[in-house]
Amino acid sequence: MGPDPAVAAVRHAVRGALASLPPGAMVLAACSGGADSLALAGALAFEAPRSGRPAGAVTVDHGLQEGSGARADTVVRVLTGLGLDPVGSVAVTVGAEGGMENAARNARYAALDEVAQRFDAAAVLLGHTRDDQAETVLLGLARGSGTRSLSGMGSSFTRTCSTPERVATVLYQRPLLELGRATVRRACLAMGLEPWDDPHNDDPVYTRVRVRHEALPVLEKALGPGVAEALARTARMLRDDADALDELAEAAYADLTASEQAGPTRGGDGPRALVTLRLDGLGDLPRAVRTRVLRMAAIEAGSPPGTLAAVHVDAMDRLVTAWHGQRHVDLPGGLRTFRRYGRLLFGPA
């Protein structure tokens, strides 16, 4: 008799992720002790030896709840019992910048980056599911932040990390992104693993929790079942669109900035430009490509991506397509975009 269908589905997903990695390379699972990441760790412990790869796991203690250290120790014991090696926990200090959720995420990824580099891991596996994807899409929709935000989470991504010795990239994979949370939880229980249910996952102070327990159930009731699957499917299609548009924008940006990185503006009558775009050709681009080029230029000049909003991009776009002598656009990070001599320049305010 074969495994429970839910277990088979999770193992199949992990097997596919491992197949894309170099033979014999170390793989790590990030595990909080919740059902999703425990099922992921259990599947990795089963599949990695069969693919000839060493596999370990790490849990991050954010220190945000009483007894979090003891909980991390329990997770380590469970992961060790699965046969994963190396296994360990990392305690982090969560700051306050950008809100607790954002600060905790930043601290967690920094810790995972460090562990992955220490063990020269080919990839770190994350336990995000299709339901997490649906929640991410709804949150992006509420922010009104465009195609890239609505495309949700990718099945993989890389982070660049710097140490005194080297600059390295860490690959992260989300093998369970096409599986529903209920399936993954059933797999966890069928493996004989007892998950820990984080009380933060039910605390309505967090926007994602309200989306999970209030918004999505209302949509399911009003529109019928399958909303999470439809949102995840929409995210996948929008990601393809966003990737294609980004490629076009990168090519256009390279063409419009070629030989255009400027010193002082002509005649010394303006500030030094950090990034310069030729207006000739910029205005002819489709808006979806043009606004991406403008955003790229602003970020390259030093404007923080997290605070560069649609209102800034729209104002920059008007300097190109609806210019009536307006002088400049102020950008986050103390920067300014202005139009001079057939160029759009991005420099210090």
- Please enumerate in sequence order all residues whose Cβ is within 8 A of that of 348, keeping only pairs 6 or more positions apart, or say none: 271, 272, 274, 334, 335, 336
Rounded distance between C-alpha atoms, residue 195 and residue 40, angstroms? 12
| Residue list, annotated binding site | 32-37
Residue 328 dihedral angles phi and psi, to the nearest 5°: -165, 175
| Residue list, annotated binding site for ATP | 32-37
Q: Are 227 and 216 in contact (CB under 8 A)?
A: yes
| Residue whose C-alpha is closest to residue 188's, from 41, 57, 78, 87 | 41
> How many CA atoms are closer than 13 Å to the CA of 96, on its beta-carbon side?
0
- In the three-class reduction of DSSP (H, G, I as helix; E, B as strand; rest coil), residue 295 is classed as helix
- In the three-class reduction of DSSP (H, G, I as helix; E, B as strand; rest coil), residue 307 is classed as coil
Through-space distance between the first and last CA atoms of the chain, rounded to whole angstroms: 70
Sign of the Cα torsion 251, 255, 256, 258 reads positive
| Residue whose C-alpha is closest to residue 335's, from 306, 310, 300, 311 | 300
Rounded distance between C-alpha atoms, residue 26 and residue 94, angstroms? 28
